[in-house]
Amino acid sequence: MKSRRAWHRNVVVMLALVMSAGCAAPPSAGRSDTQSPAAAPAPPPAPPPKPDPVPQPVPAPPPQVVIIQQPPPAAAPAPMNEEEQQVLALIADLQRYAAETGDEHKRELVNVTQALNRTKADVSRIRLAMLLTLPAAGPTDDARALALLDTVIGKTPAGSPIKQLAAVLYAQIAERARGIREEQRKTAAAQEKLDALRAVERSLLLERNRNAGGAGGGGGGGGTGR
């Protein structure tokens, strides 16, 4: 009986230890009703404090996609035809003429005139027209230059680059010729006025000389009468 009580005490102690550790066990199924009631179970331990929630990183906004529209590739320039190449050569020649000396202009004038007589080409007409307007090659001849360019403009198709170049040169030479004629007209008018003033001056001088001579002759006759 004492061993049973000791066993019971050991069981109670073990149950207390287990309950204090948080492990509750059901009562033994074979315990008799005559056994003494067990000690009151210890209150369950308080649940451990919940840890603070770990802040979750804020996801970065997705990168903005910038769509850059590339310009369409430029179309390759069309190859130049023979007439366009002739126009480029003409422009280069006109620039070269402006830097040449008088002797070089004269040689160019002879060569271009011979080429025009052989081929009657429009490019030769334009070259000769420009040389005729340069004073370094000799006396200028704007009238002949305009006539040569007018021939090119009249016989060349409307969309021709050679005709367009001839039209530009014609307009420039014609404008310069009008300016020269206007200056000549003004110079002639000024010369006429100057000549008229000189004529009046000569007339006044003659009249004064006549008056002076008449007065001297009258005085001499009076002295002789005395």
Check residue 55 and give its pLDDT. Answer: 67
* Sites in the chain below the pLDDT cut of 50: 1-5, 7, 11, 18, 21-35, 37, 223-226
Cα 23 from Cα 28, distance rounded (Å): 15
Check residue 225 and give its pLDDT. Answer: 45
Give tens-digit pLDDT for 179-226.
Answer: 988 998 999 999 999 999 998 888 888 888 888 876 555 555 554 444
CA distances from 16 to 23, 32, 159 (A): 10, 20, 117
Check residue 217 and give its pLDDT. Answer: 54
What is this structure's pTM? 0.54
